[in-house]
Every structure is written in structure tokens, then in C-alpha cells.
A and B are shown apart, each in its own frame.
Chain A
Amino acid sequence: MDIVLDVKNLRVDLPTPNGMLHAVRGIDFQVHRGEMLCLVGESGCGKSMTSLALMGLLPRKAVRTADHMRFDGIDLQTLADREMAVLRGARLAMIFQEPMTALNPSYTLGDQLCEALRTHRKVTMAQARERAVYLLERAGVPQAAERLRQYPHQLSGGLRQRVVIAMALMCEPDLIIADEPTTALDVTIQAQILRLIRELQKEFGTAVVFITHDLGVVARIADRVAVMYAGEVVESAPVAELFARPTHPYTRGLLNCIPVRGKTLPGSRLQAIPGVVPSLVGTVAGCAFANRCSQVQPACTQTPPNVALEANHTVRCFAAAAAQEYV
């Protein structure tokens, strides 16, 4: 499989009145063609900043650095704003959390869908409309042709998110970055939208970076998972491997603290992770999870190594490194 996206040592720093906020602290990941990579983590772990850094949509004051950020062989860091704008929408598309704000309320759906294509490709309005209708139908929007004349406010939240997905696919992008696309939706609609994203991804062979905080969603849709904590990827593995052998204490803590049918005894105490996420302002030394970790050891004041286990599974942890040597 060829690699669509190859990111090495990505960092995002945001200046704040109290000092530099290190939102993303040197993360590496790769996405293969047609693969679904889930970035999972809690609020403030840097997952949304990672997606904005990839799209070149960071706040103006933010500083982005990386060893490389190759998209299909092109290093995104070397591109000027105008060159990035050519890629964005055409080969790299984004689906945001809020379908209400992602669509322009004062243009019809047809105008917005066709604009996405006509900005990047030399096609006639009729051809663009034809593709818009085709993709809306594929995205499960009923009466697609009539919908082109409607405005976003005339649609329900679920339908709007379907339109946003169709829009992301207008130019057949190689990579879609989906930032919590179903968080604002009801569970029944969420299941439909996730199924749709998965089906369309398989049909068009699109690579997807899917950002979420919901481990249930991750388990059901991911090919690979990267668990983020305090601006770092602490564990990364294929989805079945991660859920079968969660190794980083944070990953294990996350999996243990959600009540699961058949596993957790109703009414019993849940295994909460004590404490709170550390502040990422100023220098962060050693393992950021150390103050909440049950397996903390003296070495954890140093930067933990990234340990490669079997089956494409990596963990950033001293305890895992020690276990590995022991074996």
C-alpha cells in the first residue's frame, strides 16, 4: 500500500499571555491509501490542532514545525498559501463537527457543491450539477436534484452532514480529514453517517484521518488507531490489536473507565483515571501522564522512549520498554 500522508515530528505551538502552549509535541504518523486512521483522545490532547496543522488552517499566531509533512510526496510545509489553497478542497478535504456552520447559510446547496468542483476543475455548470446530484444520492440524501435549490436551514442536522460529506467528495480527494463529524448528531443518525463514511471511503479508495473522543466509534470504524495524550501520540496500533492488547497505562485507563455491557457490573464503581490533564503551557518535562499513572517509576521524569512491539504496535512508555527488555 502506498503512503498518502507521512508526518514526522509535527509540533504546534500557540503563544498565550502565560507563555507558549505546546498543543502538539512532536507526533509521527502515516496514512496509507484507502485507510482509516483514528486519532483518539480527550479534550486538549491536540487532535484538532493536528488536523488544522495538516490543512494549513491554524490560527495566525500558531507556529507549526515538522521534520516533514509529506502528502503524496509533496511536503506541505514548502507550499505557499496559494499552492496550499489549490490542494485544499481538491486533493485534501475536511469534514467538520458542526454541519450548521460548515455550510454557508446564504447560498443554495447546489451553488456550494458546484463551487467546490468548479474552483478546482474546468467543468461546466451542468457537469458540476450532475456530479453534485450523483454524490448527494450516494450520500443518502433523498430527492437530490430538488435539494440543490434548497438552503442549509431547510435541512435537518443529519442531512446537512450528508451534504458536507458529499461536498468533501466533489473533487475525489486523496485524503479526507474528519474532525468529530458525528459528535453533534443523535446515536441513530451517527450510526448512519459512520456507515456512509466507511462505504464511500471503500468505494472511492479515500484515505481518512478521523478525529474523535469516542472509543466506541473508533472500535467500529478504524483500521489503525493513534491514541493522543497531552499533545503526543502515546500508543498506536491496528484497531483489533489496540483493543486486544492496550499497553499504555492511559489507553488502558480510558478503556476501563467506560461502562461496557456484559463487562462492567451495573452499579459498581468505575475505574476512573485520577487527576486531570496537565497544562501544556511552558516546558513539559518527562512523561506527561506520569502524575496520573498507576505504574509510575523514577525514570518517568525523563522523556519516555517510543517502543515498537509486535504487530505494528508502538507505545511511548518506560514500563512498556522495561517489559519488552524482560521478554
Chain B
Amino acid sequence: MSRRARLVFFAVAALALTATLGVGLAGLPSFGGQVTAYAQMLNGLAQQQRRVTDVVSAISFDYRGIDTLFEEFILLSAVTGISVLLRPLSDETRELPEDKAPDRAIPPPSPAVWLLTVFLSSLLVLTGIETVTHGQLTPGGGFQGGVILASAIYVVYLGTNYVTVERFQPAPLLEATDGVGASGYVLIGLLGLLAGVSFLSNVVGLGTAGNLLSGGTIPLLNLVVGVEVMAGFAILASEFLDQTAVIRMRRR
């Protein structure tokens, strides 16, 4: 297609897009206006029905729990795809990272940075566990807490070196954890089928709103989602890091 034909095509398409977008935007409710009917209904109902104070987690893991199942499997398949794509090929070899100057080793990380890493990663693990377990009470939940837990491993790499962080993330353990998290979601959903109601029903005891163990299956699903997301993001970083630091072309 010549450049002029491309521009004409773009002009026609842009005109159509402007027209439809204009009509659509003109019909929107005003910015920051009323709360929608669904939101008002859920704000009133969610606390009695599911005994949670964070309505968003009630929607994600109970009212629309099946969508979260699909999202978890999207993450699982993306991480699996990356593991397949970034595997060492036949013309590549794995070597430990070395400095560019041949007569000098990589300078070790300073003790002050190492100490800061110890504090920061411990703090991140605590924050991650708190976010995961309090998903039904405060904003947060399994996904956010899982990424915070994975970032504790990133901080370990940033403050130390490749050899140290590899001790914290053996690949079989990460992959097994990812699988346990993903299948745990399905197994908790099967509890509903075993109890005689539909898949992913909230069949465990609901408890009192405001307690740590409230909401039935919602904290359980938060936990397995947190485990899966943490392992998934750790596998992600480990694969990318292997590509950068370790895998290189086989020298002839």
C-alpha cells in the first residue's frame, strides 16, 4: 500500500472512531457523580452475606470468583510460556557471572548494603504476609501480597549477588509452589461441589465480620492466590536474571 493510500485509510478510520467515541463519551454519567446501583446494593449486602469488610475481595473471590480463577491461570500460562521461551538453547551455555576484566573478581557487596538488604527483605516478607492474610478486611489481598513477597527476593538480589539469591529460589521449589497455588484454587472450588452446591460456593463457616478468619473461603482463596503469585513472579525474575547473568553463547 502506498503512503497516500495508508493516510486515506487512516483518515476514514479516525473519523469513524471520533464519531463513535464522541457519542459514547457524551452519554457517560458526570465525573465523580453518583454511586451506581450495583455498588450501592453490594455496600449494603456484602457485610451481612459474606461477613467481610473489604467488599472488593468479596467480589473477586466470592461473587465473581470464577473470573479470578481465569486470571490465575492466565498468570500461570504466562509464566510457563516464559519458562519455555527463556530455556537455554543448544548453542548457549550456563556460566556463573564474571567480571569483564579477566584478572579481577567481581567486588563483593559491602556489608552495609548486605545489612540493609536483610532488614528490607524481612520487612517486605512481613508486609506481604500481612497484605495476604488481611485481604478480607483491608484493601489488598492475594495478588498484591504475593507480588510484595516476590519483591523480597528481588531486594535480596539487588543487595547481594547472583549466587546468594539462587540459594533462596531453587527452581523446582518455585515451580512446585506455583502449581500448588494454582491447583489449590481449583480444589477449594471443588469443596463447593462436594458439599452439594455449585463450584466455588462459600461453604466453609463464615465467622464474624472484622475478625481475621471471616468470610468463609475468601481468606483461603487469598492464601492460595498469594502463594501462586509469589512463586510466579519469582520464576519470572529468575528466568530473566538467568538470561542476563548466566546464559551466554557457547564459545567455539
- A, B in one complex: no
Q: Which of A's residues lie within 8 Å of B, judged by CB?
A: none
Q: Which of B's residues lie within 8 Å of A, judged by CB?
A: none
